[in-house]
Amino acid sequence: MSRTIIVGVEGGTSSHDAVLWAAHAAHDRGEELVLVHATGFPTIAVELYDDAVQQGARNLLAQEAQRVREAVPIVPRIVLDPRRPAHALCDRSHDADLVVVGSHPLTPLERVIIGSLSYQVAAGSFCPVIVVPHLPDPSATRVVVGVDGSPDSVAAVAFAAAEADRAGAELHVVHTWEQPAVYVSVEYLAGGFDEQMIENEQVVLAESVAGLAEQYPDLVVEQHLVQGQPATALIEAAQGARLLVVGTHGRHGVARMLLGSVAHTVVLHAPCPVAVVRIR
């Protein structure tokens, strides 16, 4: 895997913010930054493409490259790809460390017909994806990560801890629990069901952060056990955060193109940049 961060360039405010987020990340990590604009036309069509339209695509890439150079002292590589955006970015994710995309609201009809680019890339990428609805507040000092005890959340915690340590931020680890819809146990009737459930979930939370103190001795880690729906709790916890991290299932084949329900909701509604991490 090359040390490369790829960012999709579409134009518009969210795309501009994604480019700036990726530029700072590439600079901080010492990695190459690649700006990719995908036209969505097959190669044979591009050859017949109107020169003015092609020049417009090149101008867009040149403008974003200039924006990068003004923000950080790096020179990005630019790529004009004739494929559809999601295909182009997911294909290039095989050899990347990160893929970064913007996020913009879709109409209900657009969601049904094409889905959002951010969703398609987050679901289909082979490396972590950062979805940037807007740049975080420069004063934001928290990285939030959701955990559930699964291998996917182990990968999410590892990614979140590294990002928080690199940024000098606090790591806030959130685990949620919900009461079962139907209670039939004697323990519940005796009033001890919730207490036992909370104890069990506290163990899951503690195990999720095991080893972080040794690996990152200067990292401040806060644990939060929250009763409620996972996606709602994570979105609330991410208010004012610099980054929200979620894991998603490391599926193969067609199933890879689907996000879990929590990751899906978070990508659509998070108030800050979201990292979607899966096991490679």
Each residue's pLDDT tens digit in the chain (280 positions)? 569 999 999 888 889 999 999 999 999 999 999 999 998 765 555 555 567 677 888 999 999 999 999 999 999 999 999 889 999 999 999 999 999 999 866 555 545 444 578 889 999 999 999 999 999 999 999 999 999 999 999 999 999 999 999 999 999 999 998 876 655 555 555 555 567 788 889 999 999 999 999 999 999 999 999 999 999 999 999 999 999 999 987 554 434 444 678 888 999 899 999 999 987 6
Same domain, residue pair 178 and 275? yes
The last residue of one of the domains, among 94, 109, 135, is 135
- Tell me the chain's radius of gyration from C-alpha atoms: 20
Q: Length of the chain in residues, anyone?
A: 280
Paired tokens of 208 = 């999720």
pLDDT score for 248: 87
Same domain, yes or no, for 128 and 34?
yes
7: amino acid identity, one letter: V
CA neighbours closer than 13 Å in the CB half-sphere of residue 148: 20
Instruction: Looking at the structure, tell me whether residues 95 and 163 fall in a common domain.
Output: no
Count Cβ atoms below 10 Å from residue 267 Cβ, excluding itself. Answer: 26
- Return d(Cα 45, Cα 77) in angstroms, integer: 24
Q: What is the CATH number of the domain that holds 56?
A: 3.40.50.620
- φ/ψ of 45, rounded to 5, equals -75, -35
Q: Are residues 131 and 155 in the same domain?
A: no
Domain that holds residue 94: 1-135
Q: What is the dihedral of CA 89, 91, 94, 99, to 10 degrees?
A: 10
Say whether both 17 and 53 belong to one domain.
yes
- In this predicted structure, what is the pLDDT of residue 212? 96
Same structural domain, 78 and 190:
no
- In single-letter form, the type of residue at position 204 comes to V
What pLDDT, on the 0 to 100 scale, is given for residue 96?
A: 96
- pTM of the entire predicted model: 0.88
Same domain, 20 and 53: yes
Q: Quote the number of domains for the chain.
A: 2
> Side chain identity at 182, as an amino acid letter?
V
| pLDDT score for 148 | 92
pLDDT for the residue 114 = 41
104 and 145 fall within a common domain: no
Domain boundary, last residue among 135, 161, 190: 135
Token output for 160: 């979140």
Sign of dihedral through CA atoms 75, 80, 84, 88?
Answer: negative
- CA pair distance 79, 101, nearest whole angstrom: 15
pLDDT at site 200: 87
The reply to whether 116 and 103 lie within a common domain is yes
Does 143 share its domain with 92? no
Q: Based on the number of CB atoms within 10 Å of its own CB, is 251 exposed (0-12), middle (13-18) or buried (19 or more)?
A: middle
Question: Which residue matches tokens 């401040």?
Answer: 220
Q: Check whether residue 268 and residue 162 sit in a common domain.
A: yes
Shared-domain flag, residues 116 and 193: no
Output the pLDDT for position 21.
98
